[in-house]
């Protein structure tokens, strides 16, 4: 019987674990936190799927919108698979008890979302991700009770067990016992989310830090499209973070404006007409940056009743954290880092360049090209988990794992030496400095000079990180994850510097046009400490 180690228990990890268990495969589902703490619960707006009863919409249009929104570098075959599977994924989620918002006829309702030619975003109020997590946790519980899924709680990823281009398991760290444990498996699926920590506090979870992708990169796993970082146009500044104002607010009719000479300027509508407020996120964020004024989002004209029924979470969030009554006043908004189109490079079955090592959900780079459409990330999280499970189930079990005893001992000894030392330079300061560097130099608009400064800064932080001793004032995880996070940041900056064009979420003031020469995914690899970049024109990963 096969055993698969799934690392991360948000929606993509749950989706993969459930699909594997359905096929009778044993799953070890490892994560530092329960599924309820995953970033998936924060996904607000919805999940895209064509309504078969809507004569104006079609799967072909969904594919076209996704490819166009991603500025034509996502794989056509990959995107077609995603969009074709969407309607059955919605039906499956419904059967699992997801509480979708319904229309007057009792059918699943759909709302308008950015960059889409039809209303095709199914939703659960403004807490779609949370509602799906609740349903999938229950579905997974059934397999836990049957002994097919075993949850490994408080398990942090440390590194993969890789030999000769093949993955045999992973080393996991338990903060409560301060111990490293090797877990062997026939396949390993990474479902660790995006790399928020590169930018400090983003709209997402503080627990998604990108360490796993960074560490795997140093272990020889290729990364893809790192330069494409989505700035969500509408976030609300609060003392503790920038909070997402769901795209659903604009899907319901919300209008963006700034004030000039005492008058409201509806700049998106002026530039793009009626649908201007629902242009793809990269376009809206760029226009807001160009406006150079405080932008507001107005939904007050919808009325208290509609707001209460359709976007109550937006209303509550604004009142709770800023005492703004959105039924009466506009919301001051600004763009903020929200989603990473880049991540671990995977092929159509979601396998990396290391055999038996897979990646799903936001930590994998797939489907979204240079810019993701709202409503496609929840879809991709579920679909990618299923795709990986399908591929794994068709594989034979691993041959006997090579002997990793020496590797495990080396890592354990390194920990012991580290725990005995004491740092004068706290880890969290370096993470804060990194976030400052990334925010300053990897914003919505980039150029050669800023990227050069960022690279210089990150190399300096890396040189400190290599010499740093153990900072006992924070968790051990924060200590050992530092180099991986910094390496991922360096790879991101190098990828942004190499792409000498503007495309989707990657905007270069020194190369303002899209260039055919770069119409492909970037792939970055690390060998013996050297980083090399190429463009995947032959479709090794996504086609």
Which residue's CB is nearer to other proteins, number 135 or number 507? 135
The least CB distance from residue 240 to other proteins, in Å, is 5
The least CB distance from residue 131 to other proteins, in Å, is 5
Alpha-carbon span 439 to 427, nearest angstrom: 19
Which residue's CB is nearer to other proteins, number 154 or number 355? 154
Closest to 366 (Cα-Cα) out of 191, 541, 113:
541
Task: Name the active-site residue from 110, 111, 120, 281.
Answer: 281
Question: For residue 31, which phi and psi values (nearest 5 degrees)?
Answer: -165, 155
Q: Is 281 a catalytic residue?
A: yes
User: What DSSP state is assigned to residue 32?
Assistant: S
- Decide: 5 and 190 in contact? Cβ < 8 Å: no
Contacts for 101 with CB less than 8 Å, ≥ 6 apart: 108, 109, 123, 124, 125
3-state class (DSSP) for residue 334: strand
The least CB distance from residue 408 to other proteins, in Å, is 24
- Decide: 504 and 282 in contact? Cβ < 8 Å: yes
The least CB distance from residue 290 to other proteins, in Å, is 29
Contacts for 323 with CB less than 8 Å, ≥ 6 apart: none
Which residue's CB is nearer to other proteins, number 58 or number 423? 423
- Decide: 79 and 72 in contact? Cβ < 8 Å: no
Closest to 316 (Cα-Cα) out of 378, 250, 243:
243
**CA quadruple 29, 34, 39, 42: dihedral sign:** positive
- Decide: 144 and 151 in contact? Cβ < 8 Å: yes
Query: Left if phi > 0, otherwise alpha if psi is -120 to 50, otherwise beta: which for 333?
Result: beta
The least CB distance from residue 416 to other proteins, in Å, is 17
- Decide: 373 and 69 in contact? Cβ < 8 Å: yes
Which residue's CB is nearer to other proteins, number 109 or number 252? 109
The least CB distance from residue 395 to other proteins, in Å, is 29
Binding site for other proteins (CB under 8 A): 33-34, 36-39, 41-42, 94-97, 99, 101-102, 106, 124-125, 127, 130-131, 134-135, 138-139, 141-142, 144-145, 151, 153-154, 175-176, 201, 205-207, 239-241, 243, 317, 320-321, 428, 432, 472-475
Closest to 372 (Cα-Cα) out of 333, 347, 338:
338
Task: Tell me the Cα Rg of the chain.
Answer: 23
The least CB distance from residue 7 to other proteins, in Å, is 17
Which residue's CB is nearer to other proteins, number 145 or number 530? 145
Q: Which residues pair with 5 in a beta bridge?
A: 28, 188
Which residue's CB is nearer to other proteins, number 240 or number 400? 240
Q: How far is CA 518 from CA 99, 231, 455, 489, 523, in A?
A: 43, 21, 22, 21, 12
Which residues are known to be catalytic? 281
């Amino acid at each position: 019987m096969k055993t698969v180690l799934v690392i991360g228990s948000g929606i993509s990890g749950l989706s993969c674990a459930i699909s594997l268990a359905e096929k009778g495969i044993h799953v070890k589902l490892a994560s530092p936190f329960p599924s309820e703490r995953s970033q998936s619960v924060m996904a607000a707006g919805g999940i895209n799927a064509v309504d078969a009863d809507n004569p104006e919409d079609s799967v072909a249009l969904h594919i076209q919108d996704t490819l166009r929104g991603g500025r034509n570098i996502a794989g056509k075959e990959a995107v077609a698979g995603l969009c074709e599977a969407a309607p059955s994924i919605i039906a499956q989620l419904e059967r699992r008890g997801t509480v979708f918002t319904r229309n007057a006829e009792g059918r699943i309702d759909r709302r308008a979302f950015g960059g889409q030619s039809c209303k095709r975003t199914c939703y659960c109020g403004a807490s779609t991700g949370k509602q799906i997590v609740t349903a999938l946790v229950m579905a997974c519980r059934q397999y836990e009770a049957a002994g097919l899924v075993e949850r490994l709680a408080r398990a942090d990823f440390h590194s993969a067990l890789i030999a000769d281009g093949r993955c045999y398991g992973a080393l996991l760290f338990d903060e409560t016992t301060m111990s490293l444990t090797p877990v062997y498996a026939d396949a390993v699926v990474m479902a660790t989310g995006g790399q928020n920590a590169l930018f400090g506090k983003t709209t997402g979870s503080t627990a998604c830090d990108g360490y796993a992708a960074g560490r795997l990169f140093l272990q020889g796993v290729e990364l893809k499209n790192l330069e494409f970082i989505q700035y969500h146009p509408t976030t609300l500044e609060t003392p503790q973070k920038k909070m997402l104002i769901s795209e659903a607010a604009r899907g319901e009719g919300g209008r963006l404006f700034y004030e000039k000479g005492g008058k409201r300027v509806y700049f998106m509508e002026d530039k793009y007409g009626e649908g201007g407020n629902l242009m793809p996120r990269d376009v809206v964020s760029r226009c807001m940056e160009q406006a150079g004024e405080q932008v507001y989002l107005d939904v007050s004209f919808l009325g208290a009743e509609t707001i209460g029924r359709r976007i109550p979470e937006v209303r509550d969030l604004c009142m709770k954290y800023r005492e703004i009554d959105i039924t009466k006043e506009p919301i001051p908004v600004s763009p903020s880092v929200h989603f990473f189109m880049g991540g671990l490079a995977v092929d159509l079955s979601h396998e990396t360049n290391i055999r038996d090592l897979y990646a799903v959900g936001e930590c994998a780079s797939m489907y979204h090209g240079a810019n993701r459409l709202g409503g496609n990330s929840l879809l991709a999280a579920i679909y990618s988990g299923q795709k990986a499970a399908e591929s794994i189930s068709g594989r034979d079990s691993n041959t006997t794992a090579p002997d990793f005893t020496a590797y495990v001992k080396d890592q354990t000894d390194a920990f012991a030496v580290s725990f005995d030392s004491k740092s004068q330079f706290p880890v969290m300061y370096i993470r804060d400095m990194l976030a400052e560097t990334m925010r300053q130099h990897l914003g919505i608009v980039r150029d050669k000079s800023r990227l050069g400064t960022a690279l210089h800064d990150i190399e300096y932080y890396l040189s400190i990180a290599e010499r740093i001793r153990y900072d006992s004032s924070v968790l051990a995880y924060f200590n050992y994850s530092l180099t991986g996070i910094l390496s991922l940041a360096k790879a991101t900056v190098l990828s942004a510097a190499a792409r000498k064009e503007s495309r989707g979420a990657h905007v270069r003031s020194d190369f303002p046009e899209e260039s055919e020469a770069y119409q492909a995914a970037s792939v970055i690899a690390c060998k013996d400490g050297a980083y090399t970049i190429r463009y995947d024109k032959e479709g090794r990963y996504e086609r």
